[in-house]
Amino acid sequence: MSTKNGGNGPRTVALVGPYGAGKTSLLEAMLYAAGAIGRKGSVTAGSSVGDFGSEARSRQMSVDVNCATFDYLGERFTLLDCPGSIELLADTLGVLTGVDAAVVVCEPHAEKLMMLKPYLKRLEEQGIPHFLFVNKIDKASGSLRELLAFLQEASDKPLLFRQIPIWEGGAVVGFVDLALERAYVYHQHEPSEAISMDGEIKAREVEARFAMLEKLADFDEHLMEELLSDMTPQPSEVFADLTKELGNGDLVPVLIGSAENDNGIRRLLKALRHETPGAEKTAARLGLQLGRGAAVQILKTYHSTLGGKMSLGRIFGGPLKDGAVLHTPTGSDVRAGGVFSLRGAEVSKISEASAGECVGLGRLDGVLTGDLLTEAKGVPLSKIEIEHLPPVYRLGIEVADRKDEVKLTAAIAKLHEEDPSLILEQNPELNEMTLCGQGDIHLKVATEKLVGKYGLKLNTHPPRVPYKETIRNATTKRGRYKRQTGGHGQFGDVVLKIEPLTRGSGFVFTDRITGGVVPKQWIPSVERGVTEYLKCGPLGFPIVDISVTLSDGSYHSVDSSDAAFQSAARIAMQEGMPECNPVLLEPIMHVQIHVPSEATAKVNGVVSSRRGQLLGYDVRPGWRGWDTVLAQMPMAELTDLIIDLRSLTQGVGSFEVEFDHLGELSGKLAEQVVAQHRKAA
């Protein structure tokens, strides 16, 4: 769909950035400025288009992608307002698989800029054109120039300052647009008003505009020549460069404004309208091979209790009609069960979506976020590999009523489709299910959905640690089992040598019987008796790294049986093990902690205070200004590690773990673990 102005067709733009920066408010302000809504709602009053679900409203924060399609000056836009909590990053990662551009929303406070890195990093890596919008400009104080220097620190791409603020009485009251060379004063909830530019403002404009043109000229030789020979470039050349260099991802334009007061919103809309590349260019960037008919990139999956499954799809090629059959990466076909235009809670059925639109598609069973579907057969289908976010927080979870277990796993499967960073782990050894995710808020929102949306009654508890135990000394023990009840009795008799093994050896059973004192057919019974015993040792935990040797025994030709030899073996173990100096073993994990370098020293402290052992640290590859700290830490100390890391790093620190070895735990801590375990049992 080509329109007379931009000619790029419908555009899809993500609003991303840290929590509370004002993305949902910006969405509201943009809808209002575009005339798509007659009354402006707000997040705090619970009346915004976005955040309509109960989990979002009660927290006054986004917990899901808010999608809103609207027309602005004859062109169609879909804005995807992403949740900013770092714990809900998975939604942003999904959305980025098919947008034309992103607006990174931030606040004018230098100390909060570290929070931008996780977003800028992904946009840079994926070559997604992006703007920076410095929101809450009504709260700005001090030098914006300094702020912008900090902003540049967070961005690997050069920033291009498109506007400078006009200050009055310590507050920003307007701005100069450096491309248009026009000054505006803000009016609350009204369009800005053009004013004449003179004196000090003009002088600042000339300087700032020259700096902007110099940056543009880094990517345009013709413009560079003009600047060097003091020629004034044509406005059309400047605008063409702005468009080209955003589209190529060379530069990051920076705009300022206030979503709350409706300031700078129209300028942002206009920049998006003129400069954001369209679906064709995006398809080329993504390397999509389009055949005849439409291709659909899935950006987000929703499950609602009433409407069923809804996939948010970006249409390339197109148009896509309701009922169209789409080929999926798994080889099966699905039929689009409804095409919908979305605006917050408002879902309007439409008969078809044009090329470039972003729409809701009903009932695409088996289709996941990141999938590419096509109408044409034989087109190479891909699933865009979305970065996997390793879990950093866990919660033990169980249904209050056992018969709801199937319902629980089905509901979590749906939540996982909506948000792949939410994972259910089953641990049969601990007889425990754990919900794994990105943090406390993430899992709270998920459990709220399980309760509210899926009607489940749940109990949650801190995740259990899979402790083990072993022994330090050896012993030899005889176990005799003899029963005489009525008819024929039970008889088994074994001598077992119990010895410790080196860490990681597991369990070794050896048969050293000579002369048939324990007949061949009962030897597996002895081993079974021992194995059964090993499930729960004297401290109450599974036993590992132990060798048991059957060295002697006796039998009775009538009374001996499989059961009797199992019992004899168990008796020998039960009596022998406490003499072997049992010791608790805890899982020690290899941990990689990623943090901005200024937090590295503090992180070292956190590792030590959590019984960790530092192995060293290095620069984090590809993350300028970040370190990766390597350490070994007990699993028991990792439960809330993420909370400490985030509080040291404004939420951006993260870690990855894998099992390393089992380490001995003794002293007070071990006593506590054993006592707690006994109490729970």
Ligand X SMILES: Nc1nc2c(ncn2[C@@H]2O[C@H](COP(=O)(O)OP(=O)(O)OP(=O)(O)O)[C@@H](O)[C@H]2O)c(=O)[nH]1
The Cα 359–Cα 299 span in angstroms is 10
Shortest CB 35 distance to ligand X, Å:
20
Nearer to Mg ion, 46 or 455 (CB): 46
- Is-cis flag, bond preceding 319, omega within 30? yes
Find the distance separating the first CA and the last CA of the chain, reported in whole Å: 66
Nearer to ligand X, 344 or 463 (CB): 344
Q: Which among 17-25, 210-218, 449-457, 474-482 is the span making contact with Mg ion, rule CB under 5 A?
A: 17-25
Shortest CB 154 distance to Mg ion, Å:
20
Residues with Cβ within 8 Å of 276's Cβ and at least 6 positions away in sequence, in order, are: 8, 11, 13, 100, 101, 129, 246
Nearer to ligand X, 162 or 477 (CB): 162
User: Do strands 546-554 and 507-511 pair parallel, antiparallel, or not at all (unpaired)?
Assistant: parallel
Structural contact between residues 28 and 41, judged by C-beta atoms closer than 8 angstroms: yes
Out of Mg ion, ligand X, none, which partner does residue 375 contact, by CB within 5 to 8 A per kind? none
Shortest CB 61 distance to Mg ion, Å:
6
Amino acid present at 640: D
Q: Give the distance between the most distant pair of CA atoms in the chain.
A: 115
Nearer to ligand X, 138 or 237 (CB): 138
Shortest CB 288 distance to ligand X, Å:
29
Out of ligand X, Mg ion, none, which partner does residue 92 contact, by CB within 5 to 8 A per kind? none
Out of ligand X, Mg ion, none, which partner does residue 139 contact, by CB within 5 to 8 A per kind? ligand X
Shortest CB 2 distance to ligand X, Å:
33
Q: Does residue number 25 form part of the binding site for Mg ion (CB under 5 A)?
A: no
The Cα 79–Cα 235 span in angstroms is 29
The Cα 314–Cα 336 span in angstroms is 13
Out of Mg ion, ligand X, none, which partner does residue 99 contact, by CB within 5 to 8 A per kind? none
Out of Mg ion, ligand X, none, which partner does residue 549 contact, by CB within 5 to 8 A per kind? none
Shortest CB 159 distance to ligand X, Å:
20
Residues with Cβ within 8 Å of 243's Cβ and at least 6 positions away in sequence, in order, are: 274, 275
Shortest CB 57 distance to Mg ion, Å:
11
Q: Which residue has the tokens 């288009």?
A: 49
Nearer to Mg ion, 15 or 539 (CB): 15
Output the CA–CA distances (angstroms, integers) from residue 40 to 25, 380, 462, 497, in the order listed.
10, 44, 43, 80
Q: Which among 61-69, 124-132, 192-200, 247-255 is the span making contact with Mg ion, rule CB under 5 A?
A: 61-69
Structural contact between residues 339 and 320, judged by C-beta atoms closer than 8 angstroms: yes
Residues with Cβ within 8 Å of 419's Cβ and at least 6 positions away in sequence, in order, are: 88, 90, 91, 446
Q: Which H or E run includes 186?
A: strand 182-187
Nearer to ligand X, 121 or 309 (CB): 121
Compute the Cα dihedral for 35, 38, 39, 43 and give only its sign: negative
Nearer to ligand X, 261 or 447 (CB): 261
Structural contact between residues 101 and 276, judged by C-beta atoms closer than 8 angstroms: yes
Shortest CB 65 distance to ligand X, Å:
10
Q: Site map for Mg ion, 280-299, x if CB under 5 A?
A: --------------------
Q: Which H or E run includes 194?
A: strand 190-195
Three-state DSSP class for residue 294: coil
Q: Which residue has the tokens 């010895």?
A: 499
Pick one of 11, 23, 76, 117: the residue that binds Mg ion (CB under 5 A).
Answer: 23
Nearer to Mg ion, 62 or 276 (CB): 62
The Cα 376–Cα 382 span in angstroms is 14
Q: How many other CB atoms are found less than 10 A from the CB of residue 545?
A: 19
Amino acid present at 197: M
Out of ligand X, Mg ion, none, which partner does residue 53 contact, by CB within 5 to 8 A per kind? none
Nearer to ligand X, 24 or 78 (CB): 24
Q: Does residue number 62 form part of the binding site for Mg ion (CB under 5 A)?
A: yes
Q: Does residue number 24 form part of the binding site for Mg ion (CB under 5 A)?
A: yes
Binding-residue total with Mg ion (CB under 5 A) = 3
Nearer to Mg ion, 26 or 530 (CB): 26
Residues with Cβ within 8 Å of 280's Cβ and at least 6 positions away in sequence, in order, are: 8, 9, 316, 356
Nearer to Mg ion, 62 or 592 (CB): 62
Nearer to ligand X, 28 or 250 (CB): 28
Q: Which residue has the tokens 């801590």?
A: 669
Shortest CB 116 distance to ligand X, Å:
12
Nearer to ligand X, 48 or 551 (CB): 48
Structural contact between residues 362 and 309, judged by C-beta atoms closer than 8 angstroms: yes
Out of ligand X, Mg ion, none, which partner does residue 44 contact, by CB within 5 to 8 A per kind? ligand X
Residue nearest to ligand X (CB): 84
Q: Does residue number 92 form part of the binding site for Mg ion (CB under 5 A)?
A: no
The Cα 650–Cα 400 span in angstroms is 36
Shortest CB 63 distance to Mg ion, Å:
9
Query: Which parts of this chain interact with ligand X (CB under 6 A)?
Result: 19-25, 42-44, 61-62, 83-85, 105, 135-136, 138-139, 258-260
Q: Which residue has the tokens 């794994």?
A: 436
Nearer to ligand X, 25 or 374 (CB): 25
Shortest CB 286 distance to ligand X, Å:
26
Helices 600-609 and 641-648: crossing angle in degrees, nearest 10, is 160
Out of ligand X, Mg ion, none, which partner does residue 135 contact, by CB within 5 to 8 A per kind? ligand X
User: Do strands 252-256 and 159-161 pair parallel, antiparallel, or not at all (unpaired)?
Assistant: parallel
Closest CA to 67 of 384, 300, 378, 294: 300
Q: Which among 56-64, 202-210, 326-334, 391-399 is the span making contact with Mg ion, rule CB under 5 A?
A: 56-64
Shortest CB 24 distance to ligand X, Å:
3
Q: Which H or E run includes 497?
A: strand 490-500
Shortest CB 251 distance to Mg ion, Å:
27
Angle at alpha carbon of residue 338, lines to 307 and 310, rounded to 5°: 45
User: Do strands 507-511 and 432-437 pair parallel, antiparallel, or not at all (unpaired)?
Assistant: unpaired
Angle at alpha carbon of residue 376, lines to 368 and 329, rounded to 5°: 25
Shortest CB 128 distance to ligand X, Å:
19
Alpha helix (H) ranges present in 129-234? 144-154, 199-217, 221-228
Nearer to ligand X, 105 or 636 (CB): 105
Shortest CB 680 distance to ligand X, Å:
37
Residues lying near Mg ion in the complex (CB under 5 A) = 23-24, 62
